[in-house]
Structure 1
């Protein structure tokens, strides 16, 4: 060996270095193994503690907590709750309520020409107009009823503007004002693969702010329940109309056309595309209104949006008129937003 050829003293020094290095490596290896065993013990203890956690008292429910699917809990419950709590720290902060959109091109093949004569008798109504919706809400009271019963005030305004009808001085053909007060209950109830993410109880007023003979209004109480399963969402919103006296009722037959609630089914597609279908009306009277929305990311925060409506109940002035409308434009907030399912 090469070591035997070295002088005696050099061999002693070299063997000492080798022995010292081997001993040091052995000590280091033992220390590393000891640390690994300690970490494994800590992880085991932590796992045991997590398995023993029960949350009836924390959640405020009387039954054991059942975890949600990961994607539902992450995207539609936890994130929404965090954002709502963050906004509540700023008193009277305003957040999106329903979908905010602008349709520069909205074509209706069956405009209500009779009612337009009360707005302008100098020109006929255009088939192409501009349609937009603004919707916002503000939290009034946090945890009013239980841990998740939050009180809100919401406001939605939807307008149909004859912007290109210069012969009639570009009037607003119709505007619907919709203030409401509601309580939202965020939930985590799961059945048959669907999670009831939210229930809403609301008092809703809707009118077009016109005088007779174009005045239309009603008051409602509705219960809206939202269910989600992965990228699917289903919303059921039955309503009850608050009775009015015959002398003050501008539209006594509105239930015959608007029915007793809305049903909506939505799907989130690849690349953040979204499609939804909404049904309203009174099937027993043969009066149905259907709406289909499709949107996808366009640029920055804007989403390209296509909306199709056929049937009754699109607006207050046309609640008893069959509408056949195709609208093209943009929306600001997606249907599956972090603040909940919009409509």
Structure 2
């Protein structure tokens, strides 16, 4: 009951906050943009970054590289009931001990999903948010005592708090996760929030992710990112990332991580429709 209540609170807060700012484009314009959008696109940010720990000695074993590849395929446009559309996503995140001899991979996480997306409008038929309901799987593709996997039904909602500040909240109902990682929720919780602020639109921006485990302790995580775009007419950025907390990877989800990394990112424009 406590878990369900927590997820409901997070989702309710998101829908309440969306009313603070609603100056979106019309439903007709949204329909047109969805019809014209490419079927294949970037889902989450694609990046390659490398860095060092802040809470232990810097060595070839503790320094690493992290990269992510993520894409989305629209299966339908806005032709399904209730103005929804069907999509598939795939995200792969890897942790690479690139500075060690033979440069082994510490872990590769695989995260496919299938879901429904829906634009949300106010009473004036203006876009105020984007919602999605997804069935997700995440695993690290390993066996024995190193095997980690979980499945979930996720509800995500994104909206603008003001012209420069976007909030994305995501709550999940997990299942089939107790083999290999029975206490996973104590570290990842049931929801997370992501804030993105445009310091200089399309040039310089900051991001903050917050996540809290279920137990009454400090287990959870926050991740801060700063993006800088050096080139015009491009979605390529330099990124500085600081991750502090638990469950950055699945195999070591119970271990505290405090890493700072820098590198190159191709940013997604999936939610830019909210800024129009």
Range class of TM-score, shorter chain: 0.7 to 0.9
Name the structure 2 match of 1:154.
89
Name the structure 1 match of 2:130.
198
- The CA deviation string for residues 100-152 of structure 1, in whole angstroms up to 9 with x for no partner, is 1111x2223458xxxxxxxxxxxx96122111111101011223533530100
Partner SS for 2:35: helix
Task: Report the RMSD for the aligned CA atoms in angstroms.
Answer: 2.9
Q: TM-score, normalised by structure 1?
A: 0.65
Partner SS for 1:213: helix
Q: Whose relative contact order is higher, 1 or 2, with alpha carbons under 8 Å and at least 6 apart?
A: 2
Task: Rate the CA distance shift 1:279–1:335 in 2: closer, same or farther, 3 A.
Answer: farther
Name the structure 2 match of 1:185.
118
Task: Rate the CA distance shift 1:258–1:99 in 2: closer, same or farther, 3 A.
Answer: same
Q: Please, which runs of 5 or more residues in structure 2 have no aligned partner?
A: 1-21
| Residue 250 of structure 1 pairs with residue 180 of structure 2 | yes
- Once residues 109 and 274 of structure 2 are traced to their aligned partners in structure 1, the CA distance between those partners, rounded to angstroms, is 23
Q: What are the equivalent positions in structure 2 for 1:208-287 lying under 5 Å apart? A: 208-228=140-160, 229-243=162-176, 249-272=179-202, 273-282=204-213, 284-286=215-217, 287=219
- The CA deviation string for residues 254-274 of structure 1, in whole angstroms up to 9 with x for no partner, is 011110011112211125311
Across the two proteins, how many residue pairs are aligned to each other? 247
Q: Please, which runs of 5 or more residues in structure 1 have no aligned partner?
A: 1-67, 112-123
Q: TM-score, normalised by structure 2?
A: 0.80
- Once residues 259 and 154 of structure 1 are traced to their aligned partners in structure 2, the CA distance between those partners, rounded to angstroms, is 22
Name the structure 1 match of 2:17.
none
Task: Rate the CA distance shift 1:80–1:126 in 2: closer, same or farther, 3 A.
Answer: farther
Pairwise CA distance, 1:284:
3.4
- Once residues 106 and 96 of structure 1 are traced to their aligned partners in structure 2, the CA distance between those partners, rounded to angstroms, is 24
Name the structure 2 match of 1:318.
252
Partner SS for 1:126: coil
- Once residues 160 and 139 of structure 1 are traced to their aligned partners in structure 2, the CA distance between those partners, rounded to angstroms, is 28
Name the structure 1 match of 2:68.
133
- The CA deviation string for residues 230-286 of structure 1, in whole angstroms up to 9 with x for no partner, is 111111111110145x6xx11011011110011112211125311111111216332
Task: Rate the CA distance shift 1:212–1:334 in 2: closer, same or farther, 3 A.
Answer: same
- The CA deviation string for residues 59-106 of structure 1, in whole angstroms up to 9 with x for no partner, is xxxxxxxxx52xx429xx888754532246xxxx42010111111x22
Partner SS for 1:315: coil
